[in-house]
Amino acid sequence: MQALIQRVAQAAVTVEGRTAGRIGAGLLVLLCAERGDDAATADRLLAKLLKLRIFGDEAGKMNRSVQDVGGDLMIVSQFTLAADTSGGNRPSFTAAAPPDEGRRLYEHFVARARAAHPRVATGEFGADMQVMLVNDGPVTIPLRMVAER
């Protein structure tokens, strides 16, 4: 399972002209379930994400987590993170989990995030979304957890 984490001043997701989710300062999480991922993988990724120290302290050093600063979370499904571009000009997405499994893992991740963090917004799984954000820093961090075998 992988995620692209962006520290944001604000972010919003629209679907068919309506706002599906909106946050203030916090993290925008683009999330991709891959073949072989399971709930334990999602749980480990979420634990890492919530403790990732990418917010500034009094000295401006990245030393605080989203939980430390009381920031918001926006979780958006994005299977294209699994893109393989090694074979030509058209990306292959065969590494992404099948849609039903991807939805199950995305919903699991969101439910666990809501249980662990007070403010969580989302996009809509499988929808054509427009994601607007103000990247703070900019800070963009890739995270990847591999299923334990």
Answer left, alpha or beta for residue 33, where phi above 0 means left and psi between -120 and 50 means alpha: beta
Q: 68: helix, coil or strand?
A: helix
What pLDDT was estimated at residue 147? 81
Range of the domain at 49: 2-141
With respect to residue 9, please indicate whether it lies within any of the assigned structural domains: yes
Report percent pLDDT > 90 for the chain: 96
DSSP H or E stretch at residue 67: helix 66-69
Which of 122, 125, 120, 121 lies closest to 104 in space, CA to CA?
Answer: 125
pLDDT digits (tens, 9 = 90+) for 65-106: 999 999 999 999 999 999 999 998 999 999 999 999 999 999
In this prediction, residue 149 has a pLDDT band, given cuts at 50, 70 and 90, of low
Q: What percent of the chain has pLDDT over 70?
A: 99
Domain count, the chain: 1
Catalytic residues, by residue number, are 78-80
- Mean pLDDT score of the chain, rounded to an integer? 96
Q: Taking a C-beta distance cutoff of 8 angstroms, is the pair 103, 128 a contact?
A: no
Read off the pTM: 0.95
C-alpha to C-alpha distance for 84 and 81, rounded to whole angstroms: 9
In a domain, 146, yes or no: no
- Which CATH number goes with the domain that contains 83? 3.50.80.10
Segment 54-59 mean pLDDT: 96
- Within a domain: residue 18? yes
The average pLDDT across 121-129 equals 96
| pLDDT, tens only, 26-42 | 999 999 999 999 999 99
Q: Return the pLDDT at 148.
A: 79
The rounded distance, in Å, linking the Cα atoms of 40 and 45 is: 9
The answer to whether residue 83 is domain-embedded is yes
Q: Could you tell me if residue 147 is inside a domain?
A: no
